[in-house]
Structure 1
Amino acid sequence: MNRVVVGLSGGVDSSVAAATLHHQGYEVVGLTLWLMKGKGQCCSEGMVDAAFICEQLGIPHHIVDSRDIFQTNIIDYLVSGYEAGITPLPCSQCNKAVKFGPMLVYARETLGIDKIATGHYAQIRYDEASNRYQLLRAVDLTKDQSYFLYDLTQDLLAGSLFPLGELKKTETRHLATQYNLKTADKPESQDLCLVEAHGSMQQFLDKYITPNKGDIVDLDGKILGQHNGVHNYTIGQRKGIGIAAKEPLYVIALDSVRNRVIVGDRTKGTQPECTVGRVNWVSISPPTTPIQASVQVRYRSSAVPVTVIPLEDNRMKLIFDEPQFSITPGQAAVLYNGDILLGGGIIEQFK
């Protein structure tokens, strides 16, 4: 019998993933990572719901204390990034360093199982021609989470299953009802687990970063107002700047060294190119010459045409066909060819 460890957060998606594999004849073991205390998916409430689902399905349930690794790889990572004036993307970091990697190690070394599964909306297939596992967008493009999975290695893809990748969200809800799962009507998580736990990202950051008042300036350095901490702003932000002007103002840049927030009109916030570091090539081997692709620079942004120029040290330069607004250091730039995720990395600071 095929055996698989399913990561259970206590939400409907991971519950249906476990139930689906169970009904397909897999020997399923539930695994919940204890990441932090407080409200939200990854906490005590989620662990209780995950345990209930395992009881419903008649499968074992393991809980692993991952609070230290979450603190180091996510909380410390976020705080140091915001202090440096960037807007870090925690989810892709969490998926590789906190979830998929440790889960697969636990499955293999503790349980003797070589496959894990999650409730992510994405697809994996093996391509014989390239001898590589490929990561693809989900069938339900409105729920596609491949963007957050760009940093997964070939070993992690080989050991992972995404049972929901070919389902629409409505079908997932229907299956949850069909399986009579406790989580069938559970509201969907709308924010980062840290945001849910603390109320807002600002409230979370206020626990770790001391407010440091500084100037809000235009591109010429003229002081327009005051801010209460660079970490409370992100490039492309329009709301909450608190300055009256004839034209809408946007955050154009963050200067953590001088403790300044730089604002301007929308036209000043576009970039013709950017550099990307910590690149992970997923569905293709690392290219040695320029390639054409589409790039997504935010989870909710559309993929746009780009020329990709490989650089040394796992870096690349992206030249957009048309200048793009709100290119934000710390966020991920993820490359696609149609539905196939080619690779991705972290947008670097502009010089």
Structure 2
Amino acid sequence: MSSKKIVVGLSGGVDSSTAAAVLHHQGYDAIGLTLWLMKGKGQCCSEGMVDAASICEQLGIPHHIVDSRDLFQNAIIDYLVSGYGSGTTPLPCSRCNKTVKFGPMLHYAREHFGVDRIATGHYARILYDADRERYQLLRARDRRKDQSYFLYDLSQEMLAGSLFPLGEHDKDATRRLARQYGLSTADKPESQDLCLIEAHGSMQQFLDRYIGQQEGEIVDLDGKVLGRHTGIHHYTVGQRKGLGIAAPEPLYVVALDPPRNRVIVGDRSSASRPDCTMGYLNWVSIPEPSTPLRAQVQVRYRTPPVEAVLVPLEGGRIKLVFDEPQFGITPGQAAVAYDGDVLLGGGLIERPN
């Protein structure tokens, strides 16, 4: 098996295209691989497959397409529909990376090409910690583009078999490299939303396709009815816009009550919490801790990390105690712990008791 042989995941965007070009020009024997996830105009779908094939033709490397639509339907779409229907706000990207992309791509690379390494255009870094004998996941050099948050659930085996050629670059450098290599995707607009949103127009339109509208009450913390809604799947904790309620002060979604089909609202302080619990944990750069651990924790991709203490609980769960109450802690989203640039581990925020 050649150590310079590698399978590159190609979505058809500039990042994965540049990753493939960088490796090709470094002398790697690259093979392009695109996952067919769904129909639509998202970069991972029909348009993306055409662009990925064009990049492979430009680079003179083979291109393969794997039909992953059934896997994507079962692992991601059904998961999203179930989560939103039960009153949580699921995070599809980290689950997709683990169950649809990295795991299956590594398996396909080994089974079909005898290759034990894959590469993607993600902005993150991987280092091997010889003292702990485990792979570490680090933020990208460019904090603005860092995608490690969405990679927290990757296993040690997946990290050992993965390469992120863009981890040391910023987006401007990636664009410059793409132009330098003459890639057809060099000036392709960046995807701003989930592939599901690109394909369906909005998350609400996507969910309405799978979850029937069911009217219910919008109530305050005392149970007073303030308005009505057309489905709790249209709401998420911390949401302010779209409530359709006139009030003397801004109201935010504080909680969702699926058994009674209610949306509960309150002021901003009532939508802030001093702590939360998390489950379905994956410890990446360190072994599972047995004593409290201080870290910087990111509870949403677009929010900055905040100081917190991670307190181990029975059953492999963690209680997060924030130094200051945090707004909009949302069940179903990921809480990811860092020590500087090093991603320690992460898990899913649980519904409060």
TM-score (norm 2): 0.99
Number of aligned positions between the proteins: 351
Which one-letter code corresponds to 2:33 in the other structure? L
Which one-letter code corresponds to 1:293 in the other structure? A
Of 150, 156, 159 in structure 1, the residue corresponding to residue 158 of structure 2 is 156
State the Cα deviation string for residues 66-105 of structure 1 (Å, max 9, x = none).
0011001100000000000000000000000000000000
Which one-letter code corresponds to 2:257 in the other structure? D
Which secondary structure does the structure 1 equivalent of 2:315 belong to? Answer: coil
Residue of structure 2 equivalent to 1:135 = 137
Residue of structure 2 equivalent to 1:89 = 91
Residue of structure 1 equivalent to 2:292 = 290
**Is residue 199 of structure 1 aligned with residue 177 of structure 2?**
no
1:327 CA drift (Å)? 0.3
Q: Is the 8 A contact 1:280 1:314 kept in 2?
A: no
Which secondary structure does the structure 1 equivalent of 2:210 belong to? Answer: coil
Residue of structure 1 equivalent to 2:345 = 343
Residue of structure 2 equivalent to 1:302 = 304
- Give the distance between the partners of 2:16 and 2:86, measured in 1 at CA: 35
Residue of structure 1 equivalent to 2:178 = 176
- Give the distance between the partners of 1:293 and 1:333, measured in 2 at CA: 11
Percent identity for Structure 1 against Structure 2: 73
Gaps spanning 5+ residues in structure 1: where?
none
Of 235, 241, 246 in structure 1, the residue corresponding to residue 243 of structure 2 is 241
- Give the distance between the partners of 1:109 and 1:280, measured in 2 at CA: 26
Which one-letter code corresponds to 1:34 in the other structure? W
- Give the distance between the partners of 2:258 and 2:108, measured in 1 at CA: 40
Residue of structure 2 equivalent to 1:311 = 313
1:310 CA drift (Å)? 1.4
Residue of structure 2 equivalent to 1:186 = 188
Which secondary structure does the structure 1 equivalent of 2:157 belong to? Answer: helix
CA RMSD between the two structures: 0.6
Which one-letter code corresponds to 1:97 in the other structure? T
Residue of structure 1 equivalent to 2:66 = 64
**Is residue 21 of structure 1 aligned with residue 23 of structure 2?**
yes
- Give the distance between the partners of 1:313 and 1:109, measured in 2 at CA: 36
- Give the distance between the partners of 1:110 and 1:255, measured in 2 at CA: 48
**Is residue 54 of structure 1 aligned with residue 50 of structure 2?**
no
1:312 CA drift (Å)? 3.0
Which secondary structure does the structure 2 equivalent of 1:342 belong to? Answer: strand
- Give the distance between the partners of 2:235 and 2:41, measured in 1 at CA: 25
- Give the distance between the partners of 1:141 and 1:340, measured in 2 at CA: 12
State the Cα deviation string for residues 273-297 of structure 1 (Å, max 9, x = none).
1110100000001111111111000
Which one-letter code corresponds to 1:306 in the other structure? A
1:313 CA drift (Å)? 2.8
- Give the distance between the partners of 1:310 and 1:106, measured in 2 at CA: 37
